[in-house]
């Protein structure tokens, strides 16, 4: 059997995701149902019916308020706000399913590793090993202010802090409780053997954590590690830690090159590049006929909000598009302390040098360039070509209408991909890491830096 597509649903426990302005569409029920447990269990069952590997919960800890120097555009159009804590949706979705896994975004800048490690162990226990952690360093200045900082910790330093954060977490997960620590010996009156529960004695630049870990070892110990940094510092971080990474170059060739670059960096660090799966974004508008799919896209385009799109871009890149008044000037790269790949994709990494007018237009109109549209065969053709050309292992599927676009994908595209043999018809057994990398591999592989911190 050839390589098969790994599929995640891109989600957020918010009123809207990145379908800017489309909360107004009558079929978009998420903006009033995202607060209901039933909404998330129905979503979980739908995704498991479509044999999705995981639901990927993005998360931010702040309001997007860079565009126009104001939160107004974000609040008006529900740009990732209001936003609940995604961790709470996971146990209920796990209970409604057997195989679907969960990638949870947690920021290393605004959490503490000791408390975080316990929360992740808890979720790994409750899901029976179906958990991943998307490690982010956070790009919103409003998050920094709400955590009492005058300004954001600088971009590169955030990665240094993240690196130590992961060290602490790995030590708690991998080097604290031995597998045989819990004995439950009623006669000897010993629940767990204290000699097998170790302190970690971590003392670093940012954290001092003696341990031990509060949770007993969960099925995977360390959750599957996701990462999406694509700046040079981000790539080094991904090469060291990521088991699943996101790359999203403006072209298929750039995506392929980015994947290869990170895998090369991983190899230089002594990791097997086969232990890394690469993902990219996918957005699909599908209908039984191409004409119907085009009609849907036209409907979505009429509801699009350019203001919301600019608000989201402002927070993630640090570029306030309201300040660009000369349409004929070139849109130049400038360094910011926000996420750097968003800034680069429209400037130094853009396939051609863009004028301000072109950049603003690309936000004002729903851009069909990144959407795969057509009947099921046409959509499957394009997915297959992209999958084969770029060498990605999987996709994070976005959706204009929730849950409608996901339901269309499950009903129309999944059977077509299955017919072509490039998508699973049955789940593999085991934890999330085993489903991704093979039976018996529930725990971090030996070449991973987290595994190298094991002491027993
Ligand atoms: C698919 C994908 C999902 C992401 N999800 C989040 C997220 O949920 N929260 C967040 O703060 N950043 C998220 N990011 C942003 C990344 O964590 C990172 O900040 C961004 O890619 C810029 O990285 P760089 O500064 O190394 O270029 C995501 C990026 C991608 C490509």
* Residue at which a domain ends, from 323, 345, 365: 365
Q: Find out whether the beta carbon of 339 lies less than 6 Å from any atom of ligand 1.
A: yes
The answer on 62 and 37 residing in a single domain is yes
Residue 220, classed as helix, strand or coil, is coil
The answer on 423 and 349 residing in a single domain is no
The answer on 210 and 62 residing in a single domain is yes
CB atoms within 10 A of CB 38: 10
* Residue at which a domain ends, from 344, 365, 386: 365
Q: Find out whether the beta carbon of 306 lies less than 6 Å from any atom of ligand 1.
A: no
The answer on 395 and 327 residing in a single domain is no
The answer on pLDDT for 339 being more than 90 is no
Is there a domain that residue 199 lies in? yes
User: Over the stretch 14-66, which tens digit does the pLDDT of each residue have?
Assistant: 999 899 999 999 999 999 999 999 999 999 999 999 999 999 999 999 999 99
Q: Find out whether the beta carbon of 105 lies less than 6 Å from any atom of ligand 1.
A: yes
User: Over the stretch 412-426, which tens digit does the pLDDT of each residue have?
Assistant: 999 999 999 999 999
Q: Are strands 54-57 and 372-374 parallel, antiparallel or unpaired?
A: unpaired
Q: Find out whether the beta carbon of 231 lies less than 6 Å from any atom of ligand 1.
A: yes
Is there a domain that residue 117 lies in? yes
The predicted pLDDT at position 338 comes to 84
Residue 131, classed as helix, strand or coil, is strand
> Is residue 82 reached through a cis peptide bond, with omega within 30 degrees of 0 on the bond before it?
yes
User: Over the stretch 210-243, which tens digit does the pLDDT of each residue have?
Assistant: 999 999 999 999 999 999 988 889 999 999 999 9
User: Over the stretch 271-304, which tens digit does the pLDDT of each residue have?
Assistant: 999 999 999 999 999 999 999 999 999 999 999 9
> Is residue 105 reached through a cis peptide bond, with omega within 30 degrees of 0 on the bond before it?
no
Q: Give which of 130, 121, 128 is closest to 170, Cα–Cα.
A: 121
The answer on pLDDT for 350 being more than 90 is no
CA dist 382 → 1, 282, 283, 379, 385 (Å): 21, 11, 11, 5, 5
User: Over the stretch 356-403, which tens digit does the pLDDT of each residue have?
Assistant: 999 999 999 998 778 999 999 999 999 999 999 988 999 999 999 999
Q: Find out whether the beta carbon of 229 lies less than 6 Å from any atom of ligand 1.
A: yes
The answer on pLDDT for 250 being more than 80 is no
Query: Which DSSP string corresponds to 248-316?
Result: --SSHHHHHHHHHHHHHHHHHTT--GGG-EEEEEE-EEE-SSHHHHHHHHHHHHHH--HHHHHHHHHHH
CA gap 343, 319 in Å, rounded: 7
Atom of ligand 1 minimally distant from the CA of 396: 1
Q: Give which of 401, 408, 398, 404 is closest to 300, Cα–Cα.
A: 401
The predicted pLDDT at position 47 comes to 98
The answer on pLDDT for 340 being more than 90 is no
The answer on pLDDT for 195 being more than 90 is yes
The answer on 316 and 230 residing in a single domain is no
What's the token pair of residue 293?
């799919």
The predicted pLDDT at position 343 comes to 77
CA dist 119 → 85, 115, 199, 386 (Å): 13, 6, 18, 37
Mean pLDDT value of segment 97-101: 98
Q: Give which of 66, 64, 44 is closest to 55, Cα–Cα.
A: 44
The answer on 205 and 66 residing in a single domain is yes
CA of 251 to the centre of ligand 1 (A): 18
The answer on 188 and 253 residing in a single domain is yes
What's the token pair of residue 235?
């790539």
CA of 136 to the centre of ligand 1 (A): 6
The answer on 322 and 200 residing in a single domain is no
CATH code for position 267: 3.20.20.30
* Residue at which a domain ends, from 345, 365, 385: 365
CA of 393 to the centre of ligand 1 (A): 18
Q: Which residue has a Cα nearest atom 15 of ligand 1?
A: 228
The answer on pLDDT for 92 being more than 90 is yes
Position 345 confidence tier, pLDDT thresholds 50, 70, 90: confident
CA of 254 to the centre of ligand 1 (A): 17
Position 342 confidence tier, pLDDT thresholds 50, 70, 90: confident
The answer on pLDDT for 249 being more than 80 is no
In a mutational test of the pocket of ligand 1, which residue from 62, 84, 136 has the highest number of ligand atoms less than 8 Å from its CB?
Answer: 136
- Give the distance from CA 87 to its chain's centroid: 14
Is there a domain that residue 174 lies in? yes
CA of 281 to the centre of ligand 1 (A): 12
CA gap 239, 228 in Å, rounded: 11
CA of 185 to the centre of ligand 1 (A): 47
The predicted pLDDT at position 254 comes to 85
Residue 6, classed as helix, strand or coil, is strand
User: Over the stretch 64-91, which tens digit does the pLDDT of each residue have?
Assistant: 999 999 999 999 999 999 999 999 999 9
Is there a domain that residue 298 lies in? no
The answer on 406 and 381 residing in a single domain is yes
The answer on pLDDT for 1 being more than 80 is no
The predicted pLDDT at position 38 comes to 97
CA of 228 to the centre of ligand 1 (A): 5
Q: Find out whether the beta carbon of 64 lies less than 6 Å from any atom of ligand 1.
A: no
CA of 229 to the centre of ligand 1 (A): 6
Position 252 confidence tier, pLDDT thresholds 50, 70, 90: confident
CA gap 277, 391 in Å, rounded: 10
Q: Indicate the helix (H) or strand (E) that contains 418.
A: helix 414-419
Q: Residue 34's domain spans which residues?
A: 6-290+370-453
CA of 107 to the centre of ligand 1 (A): 10
- Mean pLDDT computed over every residue of the chain: 95
The answer on 260 and 118 residing in a single domain is yes
Q: Which residue has a Cα nearest atom 22 of ligand 1?
A: 339
Q: Are the C-beta atoms of 97 and 44 separated by less than 8 Å?
A: yes
Is there a domain that residue 299 lies in? no
Q: Which residues contact residue 447 at a Cβ distance below 8 angstroms, ignoring those fewer than 6 apart?
A: 270, 271, 272, 275
Is there a domain that residue 228 lies in? yes
Is there a domain that residue 295 lies in? no
The predicted pLDDT at position 367 comes to 80
What's the token pair of residue 253?
């060739």
CA gap 198, 442 in Å, rounded: 22
Number of domains in the chain: 2
Q: Are the C-beta atoms of 62 and 142 separated by less than 8 Å?
A: yes
Q: Find out whether the beta carbon of 341 lies less than 6 Å from any atom of ligand 1.
A: yes
Q: Find out whether the beta carbon of 60 lies less than 6 Å from any atom of ligand 1.
A: yes
φ and ψ at residue 264, rounded to 5 degrees: -65, -45
The answer on 229 and 361 residing in a single domain is no
Q: Find out whether the beta carbon of 110 lies less than 6 Å from any atom of ligand 1.
A: no
The predicted pLDDT at position 235 comes to 93
The answer on 320 and 275 residing in a single domain is no
Position 253 confidence tier, pLDDT thresholds 50, 70, 90: confident
Is there a domain that residue 311 lies in? yes
pTM equals 0.96
């Amino acid at each position: 059997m050839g390589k098969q597509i790994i599929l995640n649903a891109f989600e957020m426990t918010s009123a809207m995701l990145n379908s800017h302005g489309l909360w107004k569409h009558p079929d978009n029920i998420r903006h009033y149902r995202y607060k209901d447990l039933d909404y998330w269990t129905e979503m979980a069952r739908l995704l498991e019916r479509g044999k999705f590997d995981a639901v990927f919960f993005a998360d931010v800890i702040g309001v997007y308020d860079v565009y126009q120097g104001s939160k107004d555009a974000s609040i008006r159009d529900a740009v990732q706000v209001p936003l609940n804590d995604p961790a709470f949706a996971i146990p209920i979705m796990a209970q409604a399913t057997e195989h679907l896994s969960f990638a949870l975004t947690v920021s290393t800048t605004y959490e503490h590793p000791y408390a975080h490690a316990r929360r992740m162990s808890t979720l790994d226990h409750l899901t029976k090993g179906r958990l991943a952690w998307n490690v982010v360093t956070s790009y919103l200045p409003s998050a920094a202010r709400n955590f009492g900082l005058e300004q954001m910790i600088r971009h590169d330093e955030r990665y240094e802090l993240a690196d130590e954060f992961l060290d602490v977490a790995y030590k708690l997960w991998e080097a604290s409780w031995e597998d045989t620590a819990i004995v439950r010996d009623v006669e000897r009156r010993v629940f767990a053997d204290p000699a097998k529960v170790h302190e970690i004695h971590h003392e670093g630049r940012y954290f001092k954590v003696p341990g031990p870990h509060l949770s007993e070892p969960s099925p995977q110990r360390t959750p599957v590690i996701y990462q999406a940094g694509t700046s040079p510092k981000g790539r080094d971080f991904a090469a060291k830690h990521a088991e699943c990474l996101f790359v999203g170059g403006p072209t298929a060739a750039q995506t392929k090159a980015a994947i290869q670059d990170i895998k090369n960096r991983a190899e230089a660090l002594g990791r097997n590049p086969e232990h890394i799966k690469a993902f990219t974004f996918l957005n699909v508008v599908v209908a039984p006929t191409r004409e119907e799919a085009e009609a849907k896209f036209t409907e979505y385009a009429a509801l699009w909000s350019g203001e919301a799109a600019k608000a989201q871009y402002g927070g993630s890149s640090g570029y306030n598009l309201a300040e660009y008044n000369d349409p004929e000037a070139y849109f130049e790269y400038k360094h910011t302390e926000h996420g750097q790949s968003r800034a680069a994709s429209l400037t130094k990494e853009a396939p051609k040098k863009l004028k301000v007018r072109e950049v603003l237009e690309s936000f004002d109109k729903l851009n069909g360039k990144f959407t795969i549209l057509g009947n099921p065969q046409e959509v499957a053709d394009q997915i297959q070509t992209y999958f084969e050309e770029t060498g990605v292992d999987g996709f994070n599927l976005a959706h204009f209408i929730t849950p409608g676009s996901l339901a269309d994908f499950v009903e129309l595209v999944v059977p077509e991909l299955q017919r072509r043999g490039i998508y699973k018809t049955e789940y593999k057994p085991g934890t999330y890491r085993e489903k991704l990398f093979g039976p018996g591999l529930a725990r971090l592989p030996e070449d991973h830096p987290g595994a190298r911190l094991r002491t027993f």
